[in-house]
């Protein structure tokens, strides 16, 4: 093939490859290539070369676009080198949540352990030296009583009485002979039922009709068909402040028998300067709470409420003045009959033994279940 022919041939190939040939011409060209191996080879080479040429061009274009894109991206400031944090920071970030959880679990464990072990109760206990004199009839005694009852039942063959044993005990005394009795609020606190037992061993059901937690007072009403109203109480109530050194005594139930205690008024204020109470020097024990404090003339000057732990002879009695004020607050609607507070003193001039004999019928053992 000479040069002119080759040039012409390439021209035809270009037209052929560009799809510019039509019908007969195209068929003729294809026939020519099939018959002529040299032409066919030239066609293949040319086609391949053009392919490479085009690929090259595309690649150039692509690189251009890529470079432009890279430049735009890097110019956008998105290429800041990532900070490589120190190991300790990485670890902290990784285990932050875990350590916080662990810390809160530890705190929880510490405080719940302290709480469970009674640490806070101990603090509360040591922070106050005041001790309310409610008698706790403990489990041992309860068990012993139950056992004794069983033994008695075996011996006697009698059916076992269903009277359960009181959990707490205190003292109460008649304020109005038609069935009203006062005691301390802490004695009847949380009571399911309250029973009053007199010195003869008779027991009456009673109802708490008024409580005054601030002054630690409660008003009960005997609510029992077997109760026969008493004559009016032999003692009167003295609201005027009593003098230091006054000879005073109390009657209460620190055990199941009535117990007499004697002493003197030692301070006009109660625990921590409480002006609604006296400090008296009478040996009192749990169970004395709610008992009346009387002077030598048979006037009730207060009501035993507690004592200071760790100090000998420091007992406290709520003043009669506070008692009467509190009683006056009782809503009249809640009373079935009027409170009749005795105005006539039948104890003046009597010997102490006589006084006590008369008073003891009006002092009850308060049993709380």
Partner 1 sequence: MSKRKSIVPESDAATLAGVASGDAGSLEGLYRDYFPMILNMVVQNNGTEEEAKDVFQEAVIVLYDNVKRRDFELTSRLKTYIYSVCRRLWLKQLGSKNRAFRDVAAYEDVIVVEEDLALHEEKDLQFTLMEHALDDLGEPCRTIIHDFYISNLSMQEICEKFGYTNSDNAKTQKYKCLQRLKKLFFSATK
Q: Which residues are catalytic?
A: 186, 216, 289
C-beta of 46 vs 189, nearer to partner 1: 46
Interaction of residue 27 with partner 1, rule CB under 8 A = no
Least separation, in Å, of the C-beta of 35 and partner 1?
24
C-beta of 42 vs 197, nearer to partner 1: 42
Per CB under 8 A, the list member of 5, 37, 79, 332 interacting with partner 1 is 79
Least separation, in Å, of the C-beta of 127 and partner 1?
60
Q: Please, which residues bridge with residue 267 across strands?
A: 279
Interaction of residue 62 with partner 1, rule CB under 8 A = yes
Stretch that binds partner 1, among 6-14, 127-135, 155-163, 208-216 (CB under 8 A): 6-14
C-beta of 21 vs 50, nearer to partner 1: 50
Interaction of residue 78 with partner 1, rule CB under 8 A = yes
Interaction of residue 324 with partner 1, rule CB under 8 A = no
C-beta of 71 vs 202, nearer to partner 1: 71
- Residue 298's region, left for phi above 0, alpha for psi from -120 to 50, else beta, is left
C-beta of 20 vs 336, nearer to partner 1: 20
Least separation, in Å, of the C-beta of 73 and partner 1?
4
Interaction of residue 21 with partner 1, rule CB under 8 A = no
Strand 236-237 with 299-308, pairing: parallel
Taking residues 93 to 122 in sequence order and writing x for each that binds partner 1 by CB under 8 A, - otherwise, the string is: ------------------------------
Interaction of residue 52 with partner 1, rule CB under 8 A = yes
How far, in Å, CA of 246 to CA of 242, rounded?
7
Least separation, in Å, of the C-beta of 78 and partner 1?
7
Interaction of residue 59 with partner 1, rule CB under 8 A = yes
Stretch that binds partner 1, among 80-88, 181-189, 266-274, 325-333 (CB under 8 A): 80-88
Longest dimension (CA), the chain: 166
C-beta of 55 vs 202, nearer to partner 1: 55
C-beta of 49 vs 111, nearer to partner 1: 49
| Number of residues engaging partner 1 in binding (CB under 8 A) | 32
Interaction of residue 5 with partner 1, rule CB under 8 A = no
Interaction of residue 91 with partner 1, rule CB under 8 A = no
Burial class (CB in 10 A: 0-12, 13-18, 19+), 17: middle
Stretch that binds partner 1, among 74-82, 124-132, 167-175, 299-307 (CB under 8 A): 74-82
Burial class (CB in 10 A: 0-12, 13-18, 19+), 82: exposed
Give per-residue burial for 320-346: e unless 16+ CB within 10 Å, then b.
Answer: bbbbeebbeeeeeeebeeeeeebeebb
C-beta of 3 vs 158, nearer to partner 1: 3
Interaction of residue 61 with partner 1, rule CB under 8 A = yes
Interaction of residue 70 with partner 1, rule CB under 8 A = yes
Cβ neighbour number for residue 297 with a 10 Å cutoff = 17
Q: Please, which residues bridge with residue 211 across strands?
A: 218
Interaction of residue 57 with partner 1, rule CB under 8 A = yes
Interaction of residue 50 with partner 1, rule CB under 8 A = yes
Torsion of CA 304, 305, 308, 309, to 10 degrees: 110
Site residues (vs partner 1, CB under 8 A): 7, 10-11, 18, 45, 49-50, 52-59, 61-63, 65-70, 72-74, 78-79, 81-82, 84
């Amino acid at each position: 093939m000479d040069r002119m022919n080759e040039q012409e041939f390439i021209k035809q190939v270009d037209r052929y490859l560009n799809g510019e040939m039509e019908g007969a011409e195209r068929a003729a060209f294809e026939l020519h290539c099939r018959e002529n191996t040299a032409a066919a080879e030239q066609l293949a080479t040319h086609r391949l070369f053009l392919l490479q040429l085009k690929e090259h061009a595309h690649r150039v274009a692509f690189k251009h676009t890529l470079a432009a894109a890279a430049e735009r991206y890097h110019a956008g400031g998105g290429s800041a080198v990532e900070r490589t944090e120190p190991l300790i920071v990485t670890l902290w970030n990784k285990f932050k949540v875990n350590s916080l959880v662990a810390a809160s679990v530890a705190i929880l464990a510490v405080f719940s352990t302290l709480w469970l072990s009674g640490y806070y109760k101990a603090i509360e206990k040591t922070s106050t030296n005041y001790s309310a004199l409610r008698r706790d009839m403990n489990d041992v005694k309860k068990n012993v009583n139950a056992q004794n009852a069983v033994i008695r039942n075996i011996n006697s063959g009698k059916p076992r009485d269903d009277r359960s044993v009181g959990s707490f005990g205190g003292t109460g005394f008649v304020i109005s002979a038609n069935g009203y009795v006062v005691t301390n609020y802490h004695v009847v606190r949380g009571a399911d039922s309250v029973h009053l037992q007199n010195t003869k061993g008779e027991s009456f059901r009673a109802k708490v009709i008024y409580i005054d937690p601030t002054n630690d007072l409660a008003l009960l009403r005997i609510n029992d068909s077997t109760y026969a109203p008493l004559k009016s109480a032999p003692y009167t109530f003295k609201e005027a402040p009593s003098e230091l050194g006054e000879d005073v005594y109390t009657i209460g139930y620190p055990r199941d028998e009535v117990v007499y205690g004697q002493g003197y008024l030692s301070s006009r204020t109660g625990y921590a300067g409480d002006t609604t109470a006296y400090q008296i020097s009478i040996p009192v024990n749990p169970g004395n709470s709610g008992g009346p404090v009387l002077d030598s003339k048979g006037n009730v000057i207060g009501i035993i409420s507690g004592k200071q732990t760790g100090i000998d002879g420091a007992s406290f009695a709520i003043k009669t003045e506070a008692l009467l004020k509190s009683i006056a607050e009782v809503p009249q609607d809640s009373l079935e009959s009027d409170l009749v507070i005795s105005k006539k003193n039948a104890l003046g001039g009597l010997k102490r033994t006589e006084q006590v004999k008369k008073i003891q019928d009006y002092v009850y053992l308060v049993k709380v279940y």
